[in-house]
Amino acid sequence: MAHEDKVRWDEKYKNNPIPNSPIALVTQNVALAKGTKALDIACGMGRHSKFLVSRGFEVDALDISTTAIASLQNIPHINAKEVDFDTYILPQSTYDLIVCTYFLKRSLFAQIINALKEEGIFIYETFLYHPDNEKAPSNREFLLESGELQSAFGKTCELLHLSEYWDVDMNGAKTMKASMIAKKRA
């Protein structure tokens, strides 16, 4: 397991307030999924998992943090599991909906497509590289490049929504982000 990542995220979840409300991209588009089996990748403290359960989904919630996964134990309809995405393999043709926000691991892109059932929905949002970003990960490896989502998902999925945009956080810091809703082709 990527021990340094695990320690860093456990510490963050213990000592920093984490948003508890799901992002608008998820709340506004969850109804696109035709079934009720969902996956929340890098679920953190479970804001999206809890929302999905409230909408009738059975959710597999995955994260590297013991602290995050412990907070989701014993919540009905959430199967919380601590995993290392460097080694974990997503099950194939399992999910009607996959949600991933503010986590980028390019090696998962093909696995995500394979884990979706036919016509399954993938909702994704994260940071995009721009030299004028005021608040984003400093490691470029954790930032999408412009056009990258189109390249990664456009051949196997219908892109229902794809946007690269400036966002301003509650402290006034501006950051480029990318959001996507992809539907796996039948």
The pLDDT score that the predictor gives to residue 47 is 96
b vs e for 105-116, b when ≥16 Cβ sit within 10 Å of the residue's Cβ?
A: eeebbebbbebb
Q: What is the mean pLDDT of residues 147-170?
A: 95
Strand partners, 176: 166
Rounded to whole angstroms, the Cα distance separating 182 from 160 reads 6
% pLDDT > 90, the chain: 81
The string of DSSP letters for 46-102 reads -HHHHHHHHTT-EEEEEES-HHHHHHHTT-TTEEEEE--TTT--PPTT-EEEEEEES
Average pLDDT, the chain: 92
Instruction: Please give the average per-residue pLDDT across 86-110, as a whole number.
Output: 96
Asked if residue 1 has pLDDT above 60, the reply is no
Q: What is the identity of the amino acid at 62? A: L
Give the chain's domains with CATH numbers: 3-184 (3.40.50.150)
Phi, psi of 118 (to 5 degrees): -55, 135
In the chain, the amino acid numbered 59 is V
C-alpha distance across the termini of the chain, in Å: 35
Banded pLDDT at 14 (limits 50, 70, 90):
low
**How many of the other CB atoms lie within 10 Å of CB of 134?**
13
pLDDT digits (tens, 9 = 90+) for 50-86: 999 999 999 999 999 999 999 999 999 999 999 999 9
